[in-house]
Structure 1
Amino acid sequence: MTEAAPVTGVADVPEAALHQQRTRRDRSHRPRPAPPRRSPGTLLTGLLRTARPKQWVKNVLVVAAPAAAGRLFSWHTLTELALVFALFTACAAAVYLINDARDADADRAHPTKRHRPVAAGQVPVPVAYAVGGALAVLAPAAAAWLTQPLVAALLTAYLGMQLAYCVSLKHVLVVDLAVVTTGFLMRAMAGGLALGIPLSRWFLITTGFGALFMVSAKRYSEAVQMAGKQGATRALLTEYTPGYLRFVWQLAAGVAVLGYCLWALEEGGVPHTSVLPWRQLSMVAFILAVLRYAVFADRGTAGEPEEVVLGDRALALIGLVWLAMYGLAVANW
């Protein structure tokens, strides 16, 4: 008789294969875990990080015009300047939030920017848009209610210009430098407008070209550091040449020094009752500060202006000497 062929059944399947099949079946029927919830504290931390607290030091420029006019030492002035500082900080935070929400997809592909809260998912894109939009509306409205109408108009113009920069102007040669520089100049003007202080032409020239000096030096440093590398952090760095950016920051530094010297040498009807000509002497400290900062610009290490100003002891010392002389000149001691 011919033997019947053996019947292949479950018993003939190796135990390891059965275990793998059962594991796959169990996993397929197991419900997927829900995405982790963001706690309110984590979300608030992400929103604060997106607002760039390190950049808030720029808003200290609101005290520039009152300091130049010698009107810092009164409770009303300090209260008004604190309010303007907070409003400018809110406007800048609105711009950062909207910018990061708009660039979230591109930032995720960047080795450094992918850690930003919006790109990393710590702050949802709709939340960033909502908070940024709310700040963009509330800050000028609060300025119109609590300060001078000109301050509200200035903040509205600042927001419009910066949002246009985020959308398209940052891709336009030279215009991008002008927009960032104007943002610094607006900060310096805000304090004077809030207190009704006339803004002199020398103040505007020195502040404007001083800001252009630092902005173009920053771009130059970025261009030098990214030379020959792929994936520049700013698209325009591939179109600007280091030679052109060097020309811009050298020109801006020269005009800023010239404007300051003309202010210091101008008599302006100030009575000669001070012990020493502090205004004229402050030119030395101002020029030394520009020359010291230019060392970092020339090396291509001025990519973070706040770190250069706060991190270099010599520059900090020169700045303190200049501040003392400037204060004595304003006080007419």
Structure 2
Amino acid sequence: MSLKSTSTIYLIWKQLRPQQWSKNVLLFSALLFAQEYGNINALLLSVFSFFAYSLTASSIYIFNDYKDIESDRNHPVKRYRPMASGLLKPKLALGIGAVLLLGSLSTSFIVNPIFFLILIVYFVTNIMYSLYLKHVVIIDMMIIAFGFVLRAIGGAVIIEVPFTPWFLLCAMLLSLFLAIGKRRHELVLSMEENKSHRKVLENYSLPFLDQLISIVSSATIVSYAVFTFTSRNSPYLMWTIPFVIYGIFRYLYLIHIKKLGGAPEKILLEDKHILATVILYTMSVIVILTYFS
């Protein structure tokens, strides 16, 4: 394999943004709370849903990067993306995106038609977001949260288990919390550089976003507490509430003190405290549902 072809493969892989796939771990939450993690068939279906969502998301990233090539070139970070930097040909990227999308949608239709419809809604919603909705104040953040709710629903549908309204509310509020934090980081960055890289930021202010973060973070903790208290599997899930509180407080610390929050998926993988909290939380849920349900 030549050096050029190796470089092209690397650029394509980078264009797919695999680091963003960590968002799709939410698809395994239904497997976890339904205590189906010992079911090989359910596990394989969850893994399939993870890659179906990930490849669909990558096709959306390709479309979004193609549409925003010019604006990304003026961004301090996004200008290094494969297409914006001029290293990856747009036509090649779009072709790969089309193949990934058709592959994920066609296999999803064969495996589970309802999951296929959810994936279609996810794709269409994100395309609308890329074309217009990301410029609409407040709606831009709610669309991001809606995407996470679709992930939670998709994870339950693919293994055919029920989901509770409180669980979906927790997923929506937590994702909305992350979305607001992301907007706040972008606003701080634009204020420091005296240049806005996202048009919708003109409609936001730090006090407004801080107030939204306060409301949503509080609502997330309360909603999760109610979810654990009313859980059909085990009321002892309330023992995991401290992990959720610490995780939210830690993220608030990173947003306000460390000036982070622009890439939640990066924080999940790089901040040792957040990563350890997620691991301990998952292990605690498994132990509680296995021995105290």
TM-score, with length taken from structure 1: 0.81
Computing the radius of gyration from Cα coordinates, the structure with the larger value is 1
With CA pairs under 8 Å and 6+ residues apart, which has the higher RCO, 1 or 2?
2
Mind listing any 5+ residue stretches in structure 1 that lack a counterpart?
Answer: 1-36, 272-276
Structure 1 residues 144-293: aligned runs within 5 Å: 144-145=109-110, 147-266=111-230, 268=232, 278-293=236-251
* Aligned-residue CA RMSD (Å): 2.1
Q: Rate the CA distance shift 1:103–1:152 in 2: closer, same or farther, 3 A.
A: same
Tell me the CA shift for residue 191 of structure 1.
1.4
CA contact (8 A) 1:91 1:135 kept: yes
Deviations 1:265-302 (A, max 9, x none): 2264x57xxxxx63222122222222222212233322
* Structure 1 pair 262–232 and aligned structure 2 pair: CA distance change class (3 A): same
Report the secondary structure of 1:118's partner residue. coil
| Structure 2 residue 273 is matched with structure 1 residue 308 | no
Aligned partners of 1:49, 1:320: CA distance in 2, in Å?
26
Q: What corresponds to 2:66 in structure 1?
A: 101
Change (3 A) 1:238 1:279: same
Identical aligned residues as a percent: 23
Please say if residues 56 and 100 of structure 2, whose CA atoms lie closer than 8 Å, have aligned partners that are also in contact: yes
Per mean C-alpha deviation after superposition, the further-off stretch among 160-169 and 243-252 is 243-252
Amino acid at match of 1:52: R
Query: Is the contact between residue 91 and residue 159 of structure 1 (CA under 8 Å) also seen in structure 2?
Result: yes
Shift of 1:303: 1.9
Runs of 4+ in 1 over 6 A off after TM superposition: none
Q: Distance in 2 between matches of 1:232 and 1:109?
A: 10
- Structure with bigger helix share is 2
CA gap 1:115/1:293 in 2 versus in 1, 3 angstroms: closer
Taking the aligned partners of 1:44 and 1:313, their CA distance within structure 2 comes to: 30
**Residue type matched to 1:182 in 2?**
F
How many residue pairs are counted as aligned between the two chains?
A: 290
Q: 1:125/1:311 Cα in 2 relative to 1: closer, same or farther (>3 Å)?
A: closer
Partners of 1:140 and 1:153 within 8 A in 2: no
Output the CA distance in 1 between the equivalents of 2:76 and 2:242.
43
**Aligned partners of 1:44, 1:310: CA distance in 2, in Å?**
24
Cα contact 1:42–1:122 (8 A) shared by 2: no
User: For residue 133 of structure 1, what is the aligned residue in structure 2?
Assistant: 98
Deviation of 1:127 after TM superposition, in Å, equals 1.9
Alpha carbons 1:278, 1:325 under 8 Å: kept: no
2:290 aligned with 1:325: no
Deviations 1:119-148 (A, max 9, x none): 222221222222223322332111001x21
SS at match of 1:70: coil
- How far apart are residue 195 of structure 1 and its match? 0.6
Q: 1:138 to 1:319 in 2, by over 3 A?
A: closer
Gaps spanning 5+ residues in structure 2: where? none
Aligned CA distance change for structure 1 residues 324 and 115 (closer, same or farther; 3 Å): closer
Amino acid at match of 1:256: T
Aligned residue number for residue 32 of structure 1: none
- Give the TM-score, by structure 2 length: 0.91
